[in-house]
Amino acid sequence: MNRLAPLVCIFLLWISACREPFDPDLRQSDLSVLIIEGYLDTEGLPSILKLSYSRNVNTEEDHTPSYPGAIVHLKSESGVTYSLTDLGFGEFEFAHDIPEDEFYRLYISTNDGKSYTSDLLKPILTPDIIDVGIEKNDLGAEIYLTTRGDDNADDFLWTFEEMYAFRPKLLSYFKYDPEVNDIVNRSLDERTDLCYRGTVSSDLILETSSRFEDQFVFRQSITHIKQGDERLSVRYSILISQKALDSKASEFWETLRRNTDDIGTIFSPLPSNIGGNFKNDQDPSVPVVGFVSLGTVKQRRLFVDVREVSPWIPDVPDYYNCFVEPDTVRRLDYGASFGGGGFVPVNPIFPENGTAPIGYQGAVRRCTDCTLRGTTVKPDFWED
């Protein structure tokens, strides 16, 4: 998720908050600011550079984001060039193992004929993550990390990606087959009782290790999961990335974090003051917002099973008012009741001393089908 795009608009929103109507005389270039964001790993771990354009404050809320086409490459002072791969939608992948004792610049040439150059970039060696863990409390559960800074790495930025397994409110292992006008078992490929769902957090987590004794950052909070959150209802995974920053990058991200926390107010530093470490080659006065750093990215993955935080009762608004209808749907009515797909067989009803069901109780599909909110494809990294 691009963290910068919404914030570049705050300045224009601030202008529009004046009591007197005001139509500022802004250049078109000020209304479409290039936004650059990325931390490029120097040891070959694929990392993403994101490019986008800010939008005019008068643009409709449901507008389509604008992404520049571009050619992007990193060049060392010794003249070696490393190209980034265009993935589309403003994302460019960097996957090169480069010398960490050199200085570099990043060059961006957009398809509108403009070009942009970064300040000199010096890779920073990020220390290892010492430990990650989870601690349950009265309000839910806290994911934490422990690390230690050094002479070369004092400021840190942490980002994280989450993935979790979940189940629907009601489990159904059956489906209606119109060819035989009967209820049959779902195959493994048709199961809808266990799914996976993930997200990349946009949170900015920053800390300076020199604030602590021996630069030992103990149990830094990464994210808090509220009691009843679906993420911990079956099994949860979080991948935490630790990135060391120089002082200029740390100042940039801290300013951005304050604006993120106070977004919508007029009292925090305005994005026009955020700047970054890029300039427009044709006109250095044209604003460019964003920051790119080079360095090693250290990662740790944590898995959490629901048994580790039990009791944990999920509270999922999408599954409110889910129940099994008490009436039994008999075979003559299977097609009428289950044929449309919106109503699903759940519980077989057997006669006394019988082995074949005389009908099924059912429920609406949204309560039984996890594929409406996730995927049944297990992630490659997943550990059961």
Q: What are the tens digits of pLDDT across the range 263-287? A: 544 344 445 467 799 999 999 999 9
Rounded to an integer, the average pLDDT of 213-218 is 97
pLDDT, tens only, 111-144: 999 999 999 999 999 999 999 999 999 999 999 9
* 3-class secondary structure per residue, 197-220: EEEECCCCEEEEHHHCHHHEEEEE
204: tokens are 């900015």
pLDDT interval class at 262 (50, 70, 90): low
**CA distances (Å), 307 to each of 133, 235, 303, in order?**
15, 9, 12
Instruction: Classify residue 97 by its DSSP letter.
Output: B
Q: At 4, is the pLDDT very low, low, confident or very high (cuts 50, 70, 90)? A: low
Q: Are 256 and 10 in contact (CB under 8 A)?
A: no
Check residues 15 and 75 and name the one with the higher pLDDT: 75
Is residue 143 classed as helix, strand or coil in its secondary structure? strand
**Count of other CB atoms within 10 angstroms of residue 248:** 15
Give pLDDT, residue 24. 42
How do beta strands 155-166 and 216-226 pair? unpaired
Residue-level pLDDT at 63: 58
Q: Are strands 70-76 and 81-83 parallel, antiparallel or unpaired?
A: antiparallel
* Average pLDDT over every residue of 351-374: 96
The Cα–Cα gap between 102 and 107 comes to 16
Residue 22 pLDDT greater than 90, yes or no: no
Assess whether pLDDT exceeds 70 at residue 209. yes
Q: What's the token pair of residue 47?
A: 């990392």
pLDDT in tens, 143-164: 999 999 999 999 999 999 999 9
CA dist 335 and 14 (Å) reads: 59
Q: Please give the order of strands across the beta sheet that includes 216-226.
A: 129-137, 140-148, 216-226
pTM of the model: 0.87
Is the pLDDT reported for residue 13 higher than 50?
Answer: no
Q: What is the pLDDT of residue 313?
A: 95
Distance CA 124, CA 247 (A): 11
8 A C-beta contact, residue 50 and residue 93: no
Least confident span in 49-58, 59-68, 127-136: 59-68
DSSP 248: H
Q: Rounded to an integer, what distance in angstroms lies between the CA atom of residue 215 and that of residue 154? A: 8
The CB density around residue 95, as the number of other CB atoms within 10 Å, is 13
Instruction: Return all residues near 81 (Cβ < 8 A) that are at least 6 apart.
Output: 73, 74, 75
Cis amide leading into 311 (omega within 30): yes
pLDDT value at residue 148 = 98
283 vs 262, more confident: 283
**Would you state the pLDDT for residue 54?**
81
Give residue 180's pLDDT.
Answer: 94
Question: What tokens were used for 240?
Answer: 């935490």
Q: Tell me the sheet residues that pair with 38.
A: 49, 292
Q: What is the DSSP string of 122-182?
A: --B-PPPEEEEEEEEETTEEEEEEEEE--SS--EEEEEEEEEEEE--SS---EEEETTTTE
Q: How far apart are CA 314 and CA 166, in angstroms?
A: 10
Question: Is a pLDDT exceeding 80 seen at residue 194?
Answer: yes
Backbone phi, psi, residue 231, to 5°: -60, -30
Write down the pLDDT at residue 354: 87
pLDDT > 90: percent of the chain: 80
Six token digits for residue 3: 């963290």
Average pLDDT over residues 334-351: 97
Q: What are phi and psi of 122, to 5 degrees?
A: -115, 120
Q: With contact defined as beta carbons under 8 Å apart, do 216 and 148 qualify?
A: yes
